[in-house]
Amino acid sequence: EKLLRCSSDCWISFISSIDLKLLLLHDINENVIKLLQINPLEKFIFEHKFSKGQVKFLIDETEEFSLTPQERFDAIKQFKKHKKDSDYQIFIACRPHLEKCFNHIFEISPYKFKPFTQGEQIEYLIRFWKLTNHSSALIYKCANTLVLYFADHLKIPKRLHLMAEYFKLKLSVNLASEIKTYTLLNKYEILVEGYLSDGENCKEIYDILEVLALKSICQNLLGKEYPDDSKLKQIIPTGIIMYGNDNKLKFSCEFLESFFLSKIIFNNLQPSVLPLKNIQEFEELYRKILTDPTHHIVRRFLNDCFIKNTSKAEKLLVKFKFSEKVFNFLIQESLVDLCIFNLQLIRK
């Protein structure tokens, strides 16, 4: 928007779902034209501007393309190779773990984006919701309310957008009374719903992500089948998983991994879900989750699961014997519902 204000003759085109592999082909000019799907007149203007170095490329969310780290590295190198013969500018947005890769290719120091301040979050929400039919006063009040309760989850632009999209149909004077009771689990359910909103087979994707989270802690996967690479690659554009520097797929943040891990653990507490032959393995896994300090986020999500499903313990098949250490962990972390649930298991 600032660019448009500075240059009245500026022409901006968006390329959705761009595949960087196309940039490995010979003629970058022709590739971009194909991706833009522009008419003959626009094509003429683009080629003219391109030849004069009046074209700027912004490549965003590079970690969300279905490319291995090596393929991404080769694609960006090819982009730089073409740039030697032209004056166009390239801006590449990426997560911090890819910074060294681009520094090595372009030999420049990067700009670093700071998280959105609460003031910027409110400004974005107000401008986003102006497209609705609600009054300015209500929009202003709802924007301030959402930031009050969700500020930590709105610092990242994509998450701010997902939350704005979700709540645009829920704007009301009673919004505060509704969202002040939202747990960490509720907030991530909204985010995951947003991440998956553009895809098909959400249930299948959800199951795949649960198994991927399980693999980080349980090699045998409780008898579940690990998805093949082709299915995993199809999920990368959602932004939930990405390739790490070790060339392995992983979750884009620890909270998302813990969210899906807590979901599969909670669901497997039902006797109808877990095969008898895997019960002992599950008991060991569950005990590890409750006692290992590194899994404190998973425990927070599990606690929220029991807040949401208070009658769950009555239907369980598994029986556990816990030491005082387990309850000390849960009490110290103020996980009351998870503590009560495990007391019920002992009494069974």
Would you place residue 20 in the very low, low, confident or very high pLDDT band (cuts 50, 70, 90)?
low
Strands (E), 227-295: 241-243, 249-251
Mean pLDDT of 316-321: 54
Q: Are 235 and 205 in contact (CB under 8 A)?
A: yes
Residue 276, pLDDT > 60, answer no
Torsion of CA 109, 114, 115, 119, to 10 degrees: -150
Mean pLDDT of 288-317: 76
Neighbours of 226 (CB within 10 A): 14
Residue 165, pLDDT > 90, answer yes
| Identity at 204, one-letter amino acid code | E
The closest alpha carbon to 256, from 199, 210, 225, belongs to 210
Residue 325, pLDDT > 80, answer no
Mean pLDDT of 31-54: 73
Residue 257 CB partners (closer than 8 Å, separation 6+):
213, 216, 250, 251
Task: Specify the 3-state DSSP secondary structure of 48.
Answer: helix
Write down the pLDDT at residue 348: 47
Looking at the chain, the whole-number percentage of residues with pLDDT higher than 90 is: 25
Cα gap 252→142, rounded to integer Å: 29
| Identity at 95, one-letter amino acid code | R
- Among 17-26, 200-209, 212-221, the least confident range: 17-26
Write down the pLDDT at residue 287: 80
Query: How many residues does the structure list for the chain?
Result: 348
| Identity at 185, one-letter amino acid code | L
Write down the pLDDT at residue 17: 45
Cα 150 from chain centre: 16
Token pair for residue 195? 């991440």
Mean pLDDT of 325-333: 70
Residue 150, sorted as left (phi over 0), alpha (psi -120 to 50) or beta, turns out to be alpha
Write down the pLDDT at residue 317: 45
Write down the pLDDT at residue 42: 76
Would you place residue 121 in the very low, low, confident or very high pLDDT band (cuts 50, 70, 90)?
very high
Torsion of CA 5, 8, 10, 15, to 10 degrees: 60
- Give the mean pLDDT of the chain: 78
The closest alpha carbon to 344, from 298, 306, 297, 295, belongs to 306
Would you place residue 27 in the very low, low, confident or very high pLDDT band (cuts 50, 70, 90)?
low
**What residues does 57 pair with on adjacent strands?**
90
Residue 203 CB partners (closer than 8 Å, separation 6+):
none
Cα gap 144→33, rounded to integer Å: 42
Residue 219, pLDDT > 60, answer yes
Backbone CA torsion sign across 117, 119, 120, 122? positive
Number of H helices and E strands in the chain, helices first, is 17, 4
Would you place residue 203 in the very low, low, confident or very high pLDDT band (cuts 50, 70, 90)?
confident
Residue 128, pLDDT > 90, answer yes
Would you place residue 299 in the very low, low, confident or very high pLDDT band (cuts 50, 70, 90)?
confident
The 10s digit of each residue's pLDDT in 54-71 is: 777 777 767 666 667 777
180 vs 63: which has the higher pLDDT: 180
> What is the DSSP code string of 96-127?
GGGHHHHHHHH--PPP-PPPPPHHHHHHHHHH
